[in-house]
């Protein structure tokens, strides 16, 4: 054997060792293909205000349950997933994993046969450079969950950029939910939804052979922008205001637009002090983002194109009863089913319990469209109406001719709006007669 052949043999041997090491590394980090679930349309429900009522049974609801008792006011669904939120900065310790699983077990035990709870979802915006640590944490959770319980996680789009350790997290879960909203490095005052490009993202997600559902925005947001002396924008987000708080105000100038995802943008520039709102100053800007029929339909149709391991969509979120910035579940279901919007506004009548009188709570459903002009809506009471107690943000007027008149300003928002309570000595029927 010559020196040259000896060197060649050594090089071949080294190459073989390196190849085997690479195969072993890939094997250790590979994700076994996992069973795909049937396609479902789901919603997140967050703790807080009681959820809005609906006329349909949901396929799957992801429910944030903060205690050890299963909520008793949830909409009906075929299946439920328990959601636990981990806040940024919280340490992912063994104790944290154990607490998550013990709380999950307590909830499933408390729910009993009342709810078909299929698994646990962890909602954690893990920094991309911490995915290996997150993977070790998820392994602990996976091993502690009762047999047959599914483990799901929310996922940031940034995780799926090149050379990340996302496999470290995905190998322990049965499902991940990439979130196509607030996808930038920081939450923006205007715009929420991220346009969904199936041609770009489907090959990326499907390559991991792990089932996933696409997280879609169906909610809105109100924010105040203020520029400081150095030219930086300071943003404050509001939870306790609605578009109706700003509609028709003389102290504001209005402009409108749309986002690339099809959301509606409403901007108010404050030109004079607003009575009763000392936190808003001249020079401030109010940015209002509203979901639309187009933004939801486009996102849904894009999600349908993913194929592979995509097994549904998950809307953020199911609204509370008084919300005006989030599409109502009935409207979302109509959109994803391909139905056209109904004509005009509708009235919903609920009958709370009253002593010696019949009571009717009236809700006006303004629908998913954007009202670009002021509108006057008349409601007629047919029957012995004795008293109407107006309430809610629209301040309806009761007329002597058994009519209730509601003035809805332009760009007042969407959803169901509470009008007030009608009191009568007997059954009363209500109908919208003019709009």
Which residues, listed in sequence order, are joined to residue 359 by a DSSP beta bridge?
423
The average pLDDT across 7-30 equals 41
Q: Which of 75, 72, 142 is nearest to 107 (CA)?
A: 72
Among 12-26, 53-67, 272-286, 313-327, name the one with the lowest average pLDDT.
12-26
Q: What is the CATH number of domain 32-218+292-336?
A: 3.20.20.80
In this prediction, residue 126 has a pLDDT band, given cuts at 50, 70 and 90, of very high
Among 73-77, 139-143, 299-303, 373-377, name the one with the lowest average pLDDT.
373-377
> What does the DSSP 8-state code read for residue 114?
G
pTM of the prediction?
0.85
Q: Which of 402, 413, 360 is nearest to 378 (CA)?
A: 402
Asked if CATH classification 3.10.580.20 holds for the domain at 346-434, the reply, yes or no, is no
Helix (H) or strand (E) holding 136: helix 131-144
Which residues, listed in sequence order, are joined to residue 79 by a DSSP beta bridge?
60
Characterize the bridge pairing of strands 252-258 and 346-350. unpaired
pLDDT tens column, 271-319: 999 988 889 999 999 999 999 999 999 999 999 999 999 999 999 999 9
Q: Where are the domains of the chain?
A: 32-218+292-336, 222-290, 346-434
Q: What is the pLDDT of residue 7?
A: 41
In this prediction, residue 27 has a pLDDT band, given cuts at 50, 70 and 90, of very low
- Tokens at residue 94, please? 């063994």
């Amino acid at each position: 054997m010559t020196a040259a052949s000896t060197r060649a043999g050594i090089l071949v041997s080294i190459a073989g060792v390196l190849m085997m090491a690479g195969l072993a590394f890939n094997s250790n980090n590979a994700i076994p293909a996992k069973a795909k679930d049937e396609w479902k349309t789901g919603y997140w429900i967050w703790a807080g205000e009681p959820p809005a009522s609906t006329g349909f049974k949901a396929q799957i609801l992801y429910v944030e349950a903060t205690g050890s008792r299963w909520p008793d006011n949830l909409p009906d669904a075929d299946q439920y997933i328990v959601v636990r939120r981990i806040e940024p900065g919280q340490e992912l310790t063994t104790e944290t994993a154990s607490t998550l699983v013990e709380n999950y077990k307590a909830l499933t035990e408390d729910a009993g046969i009342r709810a078909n709870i299929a698994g646990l979802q962890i909602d954690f915006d893990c920094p991309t450079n911490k995915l290996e640590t997150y993977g070790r944490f998820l392994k602990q959770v996976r091993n502690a969950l009762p047999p047959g319980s599914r483990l799901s996680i929310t996922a940031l789009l940034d995780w799926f950029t090149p050379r990340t350790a996302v496999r470290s997290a995905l190998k322990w879960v049965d499902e991940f939910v990439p979130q196509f909203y607030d996808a930038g490095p920081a939450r923006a005052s205007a715009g929420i939804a991220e346009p969904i490009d199936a041609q770009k993202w489907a090959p990326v997600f499907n390559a991991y052979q792990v089932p996933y559902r696409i997280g879609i925005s169906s909610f809105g947001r109100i924010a105040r922008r203020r520029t400081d002396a150095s030219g930086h924008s300071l943003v404050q987000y509001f939870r306790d205001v609605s578009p109706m708080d700003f509609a028709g105000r003389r102290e504001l100038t209005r402009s409108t637009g749309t986002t690339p995802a099809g959301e509606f943008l409403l901007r108010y520039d404050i030109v004079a002090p607003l009575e009763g709102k000392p936190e808003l100053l001249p020079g401030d800007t109010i940015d209002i983002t509203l979901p639309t029929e187009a933004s939801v339909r486009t996102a849904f149709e894009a999600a349908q194109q993913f194929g592979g391991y995509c097994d549904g969509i998950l809307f953020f979120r199911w609204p509370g009863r008084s919300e005006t910035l989030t599409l109502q579940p009935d409207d979302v279901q109509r959109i994803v089913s391909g139905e056209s919007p109904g004509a005009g506004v509708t009235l919903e009548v609920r009958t709370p319990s009253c002593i010696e009188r019949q009571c009717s709570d009236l809700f006006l459903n303004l629908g998913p469209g954007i009202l670009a002009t002021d509108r006057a809506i008349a409601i007629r009471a047919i029957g012995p109406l004795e008293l109407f107690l107006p309430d809610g943000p629209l301040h309806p007027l009761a007329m002597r001719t058994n009519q209730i008149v509601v003035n809805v300003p332009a760009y007042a928002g969407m959803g169901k709006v509470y009008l007030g309570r009608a009191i009568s000595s007997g059954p009363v029927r209500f109908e919208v007669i003019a709009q």
